[in-house]
Structure formats: structure tokens, C-alpha cells
Amino acid sequence: MYQNLEIQIENKIAVVTLNRPQALNALNKDLLNDISSFLDEAKDNAAIRVIILTGSGEKSFVAGADIKEFSDFNGQQGELLAKQGQENVFNKVEKFPKPILAAVNGFALGGGLELAMASHFRIASENAKLGLPEVTLGLIPGYGGTQRLPKLVGKGRAAQMIFTAEMISAQRAYEIGLVNEVVPQAELLDRAKAIAAKIAGNSATAIAKAIYAMNLSDTDKGFEAEIKSFGELFDQPDFKEGVSAFLEKRKPNF
């Protein structure tokens, strides 16, 4: 259905493989449109509770925005590229009400690392390499990298990565908190699915509220959002089920 995505839905988990291996899964317009449309569809699809994003092949998660596609752009077109990308994909990923986990299976460069950073959390395979090489092209990260990287790893580490354009190893990414876990490549998807399965067994309604409140954590609305969301959840069926299950010493069925 999507030309540039392979989608497998099983046990409430959608594994979405970005599939442009000839360009190391670089994000061109069509691939970005596919991701955006898939998210719109997945939002109300009861068969999907958790999304895993990964890249096709063993070499690359995503090697960045498609350089060939913007090579002759002017300033106005460049600004539009960043604006539309951020609005239609990257911000949509971050605000998506179902957890999105990036399984970084190789190069996560430029827009690729930005996509992983917009995801709710990241795990990586041992061979992964992460970086923001935009300044080697005379650019800066345009899909949120200057904003999300400092929040994840601190301003100094982000500055070093952005100014040097150097890639870091998966192990280093783990040490600085950019990825949560590093596993052998052959185990990456199984590990991502195991984490996703844990999440899928919990209250989707509560998790959606957690995502909403966490996304406001850098604003002065965060605590208020938490208080309101906490209260709203008491009126939801999942709260009744969760508490009944606890009292009846059984597993909740959300």
C-alpha cells in the first residue's frame, strides 16, 4: 500500500520498515509522505498499539534527508522543506498518541537521527552510527536536530556533534543517553518487539496521556497537564479495569 514502507502488524505492534535501500533509506518527499499517511491511518487503528520504526537492510536506519532532492533548492524552498517535514512527520511522530520506538539498525544521520530523536525512545544495534553531518553540506539540521539533541544529551555534547559533524558509535550513544540500549544487530528487532509487547499490555489510554504530558515537560504547562490528565484517567474504563485487576490479584485486560 505504501511504496516506501513495509508494514507488519502483529500482536498490536506495527513494525514499519523504511524501505529505500538504494539510497540507504534517505528521506525523500515520497517516503516522508508515506510516513505521514501511515501515522494518520495508524492513529485510529485498534490493531496498532505500538509502532517500531526501523530501516531496511543491515547498513542503514536512515542516511538523512535526500540530498539529491534538495541539491538545487533556494532559501525559500529550503525553509519550506524543513517546515513541512517538521509539521507533517517529525512533530507528528513526537506527539503521536501511541508509543513510537526507533530501532536504529545502522546509519542514523541527519534527518535519520532526527527521526530517531522525534521517536519516543531509541534502541540501537551494535553497528549503528549516529550523527548530524549537515554542516559538511553548508547546512544545519532542519528536522528538529538543533532542538531535540541538546535536550537528549545536553548542550555541550550536542554542540560537539553538530559542529564536528562526526558520527558516534552506538556504544557512545548509549553512554550519553541518546539510545536506551545497544544489542547485536541480529537481536535488534526481537528486543524492540519484546519492549513493545510490554507496552502493548498496559493501558493505551494512560500511555497516550503520558505522551501528552511528557511533551509539555519543557513548557510551563507541564505540571498542569499532568494534573488534568491524571484526573481525567479516573473516569476511563482502563482505570476501573486496572484497579479491579490489582484488587482481584489478576492481570488487567486493557
Nearer CB in complex with ligand CAA: 7/137: 137
Supply the minimum distance, in Å, between the C-beta of residue 85 and ligand CAA.
6
Residue with cell 522525534: 118
Give the per-residue contact string, 127-166, with ligand CAA (x = CB under 6 A; - = no): ------xx--x-x-xxx-x---------------------
Q: What is the dihedral of CA 97, 101, 102, 105, to 10 degrees?
A: -150
Q: In degrees rounded to 5, what are phi and psi of residue 123?
A: -125, 160
Binding residue (CB under 6 A) for ligand CAA from 9, 67, 183, 208: 67
Nearer CB in complex with ligand CAA: 69/238: 69
DSSP 135: G
Q: Pick out residues in 71-110 that bind ligand CAA (CB under 6 A).
A: 107, 109-110
Q: Does 68 bind ligand CAA (CB under 6 A)?
A: yes
Answer yes or no: 134 catalytic.
yes
Sequence-distant (6+) residues with CB within 8 A of 214 are: none
Could you tell me if 207 and 98 are in contact, meaning their C-beta atoms sit under 8 angstroms apart? yes
Sequence-distant (6+) residues with CB within 8 A of 29 are: 66, 69
Write out the catalytic residue numbers.
114, 134
- Residue numbers at the binding site for ligand CAA (CB under 6 A): 23-24, 26, 63-68, 107, 109-111, 114, 133-134, 137, 139, 141-143, 145
